[in-house]
Structure 1
Amino acid sequence: MLQLLLEAKTVEGSNGAVYYFLPSNGRYEVKPGLIPLADDLGNGQVDQQVFQIDENFAYYRNVKLAGRAERLSKYYQTSNYSHAVASAIAQLIINRLTQEYPQYFHIEHQSNADIKFYNQLTGETLYLDSSYELQKVQPSQVFPLYASTLDALAAQIQEDITVISRTKNGNNWVSAIHLCYPNHWSAEEKIGKDFATVHLPVAGMEKINRRASAIVNTMIMREPMVRFAWGLSTDTHLNHHPEPPPNVPIKQWLGRNFNREHPRLYLRIERQVIWGLPKYEAALFTIRTYFRDCSVIKKDPQLRCKLSAAIESMTPESLIYKGLADSKADILAWLDQV
């Protein structure tokens, strides 16, 4: 459980990290905010990649392994996750990794149509059959052993994974979730639910939820896209599952306890990539979490003003949802102290 309580490096404390700043327009907004994945957002080629791997890979992986060891079903769930969709998602992930990071990932097609997928960062080789179903892993040192191809692949990257599926008559549901870096939500709570139901607790989602079917159609049918979400945290723990691990006090676990006398505040940014698979009526949805140090942000007058304005613009419902209702005034006062 120790790994679950270690803190991630911030963007400012990492070498070669990508830089995203939300909210760039000085307002807190709940909207789809879909951007073509092909767009350069200031970080060059890495902006166009599904997966972003950096010097913090080992820490991100250790948090995933610790979560799996705590209780795999707490972080990994499937519901009517068909073999066809599972195979297509696995193939997409492997293809993107080998294209985006050929220095780390290698795929070898065997004469019997089986597949060997090797990750230099973990030293693991995944042996898959022609349908991309997991056969074995070498070396097999993780506990518990990987339950599926998706479980194994999720442990090779710094992103969380969600898959949304749709029937021919238009009904949609979350068919797979591998969520080891949850931001106050859980795989067990969301699995099998449709888009609108999944987002019901999100303050300000009413207009978007009325267009849920159209948004899901965009996710599946359109070009690959990226969007961003943000919030504030008082630590840099990747895992903020609603249920703390055994023997960890919930106040210590939640990460939303701002102390103006000993201020720690971080912008928690999620980079979310959506890649549709129209042939399979499904879409891959990845979540990569970054932390920006607000003590550094507030030294930049322009960024400080935008962040303060965005917090000021939050509705009472959004403040409650984001865990800021009790600390808003103290956070704004601290940001104003230069």
Structure 2
Amino acid sequence: MSGRYEVKPGMIAFGSCLGNTQADQQVFQIDDNFTHYRQAKLLARGERLNKYYQTCNYSQAIAGAIARLIINRLTQEHPHHFYCQKSIDNTLKFHSQLTGETLYLDADWQLQQVEGSPVFPTYVSTLDALATQVQEDLTIICRSADGSNWLSAVHLCYPNHWSSEEKIGKDFAAIHAPVAGMEKINRRAGAIAHTMITHKPMVRFAWGLSTDTRLNHHPEPPPGISVSKWQGRSFDSQHPQLYLRIERQVIWGLPEYEAALFSIRTYFRDCGVVKKDPVLRSKLYAAIQSMTPESLVYKGLVDSKASILQWLEEA
């Protein structure tokens, strides 16, 4: 809305009113597209699970704390979709009405058994199972006693041109090193990781442009699909399709565990509709125009910037 393309933390307090009523209070936003999002996750997992799900020094204690956080939020935010029942021996039964699946967890929140719709491959952990019940991708950052941080777990079935396998185990600065315009932020990487872990929950948004609405844009296409077809950054001015790909990112720190949950919910907004609003159109035009050469490369817009701007100018 500033009319400038900027790279900045942009964190605001979680739960702040952004005009989305109850959804602004939710870590996990569920809508009518749930089945589509779920299918995309199942397809990704079925292709090759470790392409989309990785862990590194992800301790059982932190895994349990993250599982407890996710389940507590889901049952609080969507009691008509999820319920959790605890037994005398502290084992848990977690059920999703959306998927028909029931997860049985031990007293340490470790997955023991699954009932309901069969998935392939079978769930390998509580995080894998819970991530497949929601429309968000999930990452967990951890910090050691010496202050160093690392990406400890990532379940990323809707990647926006980045890879779990490439990022797992790296620290904040290394993860974001390829992002154009991140230099100033990366110089404060340790402080930002500290904020993520110790501060109250926050939300931020990121945006880019895509020429399709496919959720999965892993850098490596599935077998049998060409890179050019898979990439989704090829604007055709004769048959224009352009979308804002928007990520709602929630950061929920667990300071007692020196960890934070980072969720990524992907949305699309048709630029054909944006274009009809003179104010939004001018803001988007100016923001694309303001991108640095490095940002254009990073966002995959070098070849299409001129034709996109021309299309936005057309009535």
User: TM-score by structure 2 length?
Assistant: 0.99
SS in 2 for 1:121: coil
Which of 33, 48, 52 pairs up with 2:10? 33
How far residue 45 of structure 1 moved from its aligned partner, in angstroms, is 1.8
- Corresponding letter in the other structure for 1:87: G
Residue 150 (str. 1) matches residue 127 (str. 2): yes
- Corresponding letter in the other structure for 1:298: K
How far residue 133 of structure 1 moved from its aligned partner, in angstroms, is 0.1
SS in 2 for 1:66: helix
Which of 299, 310, 313 pairs up with 1:333? 310
Which whole-Å CA distance do the structure 1 matches of 2:70 and 2:17 have between them? 21
Structure 1 unmatched runs, 5+:
1-23
How far residue 140 of structure 1 moved from its aligned partner, in angstroms, is 5.5
Which of 291, 300, 305 pairs up with 2:282? 305
2:165 is matched with: 188
1:106 is matched with: 83
2:174 is matched with: 197
2:219 is matched with: 242
Which of 272, 277, 282 pairs up with 2:249? 272
Which whole-Å CA distance do the structure 2 matches of 1:278 and 1:244 have between them? 37
1:323 is matched with: 300
SS in 1 for 2:114: strand
| 1:147-202 per-position Cα deviation (integer Å, ceiling 9, x unaligned) | 00000000000000000000011010000000000000000000000000000000
Which whole-Å CA distance do the structure 1 matches of 2:126 and 2:117 have between them? 14
1:14 is matched with: none
Which whole-Å CA distance do the structure 2 matches of 1:113 and 1:182 have between them? 36
How far residue 249 of structure 1 moved from its aligned partner, in angstroms, is 1.1
| 1:29-82 per-position Cα deviation (integer Å, ceiling 9, x unaligned) | 000000101200111121121010000000000000000000000000000000
SS in 1 for 2:48: helix
Which of 168, 175, 178 pairs up with 2:155? 178
Which of 23, 40, 51 pairs up with 1:74? 51
| 1:270-316 per-position Cα deviation (integer Å, ceiling 9, x unaligned) | 00000000000000000000000000100000000000000011000
Structure 2 unmatched runs, 5+:
none
Residue 210 (str. 1) matches residue 200 (str. 2): no
Which of 105, 113, 117 pairs up with 2:94? 117
1:259 is matched with: 236
| 1:219-264 per-position Cα deviation (integer Å, ceiling 9, x unaligned) | 0000100001100000000000000000011111000000101100
Which whole-Å CA distance do the structure 1 matches of 2:252 and 2:142 have between them? 12
- Corresponding letter in the other structure for 2:71: I
Which whole-Å CA distance do the structure 2 matches of 1:30 and 1:164 have between them? 21
Which whole-Å CA distance do the structure 1 matches of 2:166 and 2:207 have between them? 21
| 1:57-116 per-position Cα deviation (integer Å, ceiling 9, x unaligned) | 000000000000000000000000001100000000000000000000000001211000
Which whole-Å CA distance do the structure 1 matches of 2:75 and 2:168 have between them? 29
Instruction: Describe the shift of the 1:293–1:140 C-alpha distance in structure 2 as closer, same or farther (beyond 3 A).
Output: closer
Which whole-Å CA distance do the structure 1 matches of 2:112 and 2:2 have between them? 49
- Corresponding letter in the other structure for 1:227: R
Percent identity reads 69
User: TM-score by structure 1 length?
Assistant: 0.93
- Corresponding letter in the other structure for 1:186: S
Which of 139, 145, 148 pairs up with 2:116? 139
Which whole-Å CA distance do the structure 1 matches of 2:122 and 2:174 have between them? 32
Which whole-Å CA distance do the structure 2 matches of 1:123 and 1:189 have between them? 33
Which whole-Å CA distance do the structure 1 matches of 2:22 and 2:33 have between them? 19
Give the ranges of 4+ consecutive aligned residues of structure 1 lying more than 6 Å apart after TM superposition: none
Instruction: Describe the shift of the 1:38–1:140 C-alpha distance in structure 2 as closer, same or farther (beyond 3 A).
Output: closer
2:198 is matched with: 221
Residue 288 (str. 1) matches residue 265 (str. 2): yes
